[in-house]
Amino acid sequence: MDATTLALVVLPLLLLQFGLLGYALYDLFQEDRRVRGDSKVMWALIILFVNVVGPLIYLFLGRDESRGVALEATATGAPAPGSSTAAILASWPRLESTTEAAVTTSGLTKRYRGGVVALDKLDLTVPSGSIFGFLGPNGAGKTTTLRLLTGLAGATAGTGTVAGVPIGRTDGQLARNIGYLDQDPRFYAWMKGRELLDMVARLHGLHGAERRRRVDDVLEIVGLRQAGHRRIGGYSGGMRQRLGIGQALINQPRVLFLDEPVSSLDPEGRRDVLAIISRLRGTATVFMSTHILNDVERVCDRVAILNLGHLVVEGPIDELLDRYAQPIFELEPEPQQPGAVEKLAGLMRRQRWAQEVQTTSDTVRVFAKDPGVAGPAILPLVVKSGVGLARFERERPSLEDVFLRLVAESGPPIAPAVHIPATGLDGRARR
């Protein structure tokens, strides 16, 4: 509330309120009024009661704790994770080098009432230390999988382990080894950011100076050191997301589950959150569900693609791109050659290895069935046509191309899932 509002609205209203209250009480106790004797006390109480009821109704029903002044990240000093973050994370225990998988599932199935199968016989192995992208269109079963793995829901069939602990254990062993960020993290609006982290640290059994130091470290990592003393109700969406990552990190988890961690953020917020995730490499295994494929390519080592509750493919990103991405050749004729684009496009369309040819005003894009044949054949054809080329390029296929192709192809009935080992199909070690 600014000073002008205070001066022009609130103060006059308060003066009016208390003025009327004071006048009514003054008038009540005048000698010549109808109300006499002890009844004046009763009337005074009625007047005070009416003044109290309004605030009480407001306190019970009128307050909306979920709302507040959105303090934008820029105003609260949310620096991109920097050197201090790196130093803090470097001081955290590293994941021990192990061949044991961080997450395994075997035949994991979730069937809801009414027969809806959200997840169908999921067999998955996530190597320890990886940043694992769990991809799929909306309704693929990503969130269901995360809920099963974190113990928030029970599986209809199948088993799984997280950090070696069977899922479904309720003795706290699973919770001590994991961190979890919900898709749309909501916290107690009345709490301060620091208080939330402190509470979570207490639940994880941290005490005294160690707990305070951990809270400070996590606030630094997620860039909320300045905003830690503010009410969460006033946080922006990006700040809530970073606080969510903070609460998931407070116990230095071995496996960190993030459900769509950047989907609701602006580009700057996404950059910050992805930077935090990247820096966790070696400190925790990160299992991240998302459908923002550019982000996956930026931070993830391995991915799994899920569709309609079925695993479509799983493996290192490079391997998936090599195996499934359709090569694209792009040709750009020299300017000042009327009809050159149409001429090249017509020529390419006649080739048996060309699956599809697309044109723009100045380029021709050729989708080849077999890049081994198309690559050497294209340039001789161009020379033969007499068109001068300004640019010839084989485009690096994106994960999005692979994703769209595999999801489109994996509609029911589902083909058996393809697993690409951590060493890659060619036997070389992958990232």
Partner 1 sequence: MMGFGTLLIKELREQLRTGRLVAVAAVFILFGTLGPLTDRYMSELINALGSQGGEMTITVPPPSLSGAATQILKNLTQFGIVCALLLAMGSVAWEKDRGTAGMILTKPASRAAFLGSKLAAIAVNLAIAVILGCGLAYGYMLVLYPQAFDIVGYVEMALLLWWMLVGFASITLLGSTLTRSATAAAGIGLVALLVLSIAGSLPVIGPYMPISLGNVAFDLVLGSDPGWILGPIVFNVLLVPAVFGVTWLVFRNQEL
Residues 234-263 within binding reach of partner 1 (CB under 8 A)? 247
Residue closer to partner 1, measured from CB, 173 or 294:
173
Taking the CA atoms of 162, 170, 158 and 409 in sequence, report the sign of the dihedral they define. negative
Binding span for partner 1 by CB under 8 A among 61-69, 208-216, 293-301, 324-332: 61-69
* CA neighbor of 408 nearest in space, from 317, 316, 312: 312
Reading phi first (left if > 0) and then psi (alpha if -120 to 50, else beta), residue 260 is in left
Residue closer to partner 1, measured from CB, 166 or 172:
172
Residues 301-330 within binding reach of partner 1 (CB under 8 A)? none
Interface with partner 1, residue 154, by CB under 8 A? yes
**Closest separation in Å from C-beta 113 to partner 1:** 11
* CA neighbor of 135 nearest in space, from 147, 120, 146: 146
Cα Rg of the chain, angstroms: 31
CB 68 within 8 A of CB 234: yes
Peptide bond into 413 cis (omega under 30): yes
Residue closer to partner 1, measured from CB, 180 or 287:
180
Query: Residue 3: phi, psi to the nearest 5?
Result: -65, -35
Binding span for partner 1 by CB under 8 A among 38-46, 210-218, 221-229, 380-388: 38-46
- Contact string (CB under 8 A) for partner 1, positions 89-128, x = contact: ----------------------------------------
Residues 163-182 within binding reach of partner 1 (CB under 8 A)? 170-172, 175-176, 178, 180, 182
Which one among 4, 34, 97, 207 touches partner 1, defined by CB under 8 A?
34
CB 110 within 8 A of CB 153: yes
* CA neighbor of 111 nearest in space, from 103, 102, 120: 120
Strand partners, 258: 181, 288
Interacting residue ranges for partner 1, rule: CB under 8 A: 34-39, 41-43, 45, 49, 52, 56, 59-60, 63, 65-66, 147, 150-154, 170-172, 175-176, 178, 180, 182, 184-188, 190-191, 195, 199-200, 202-205, 247
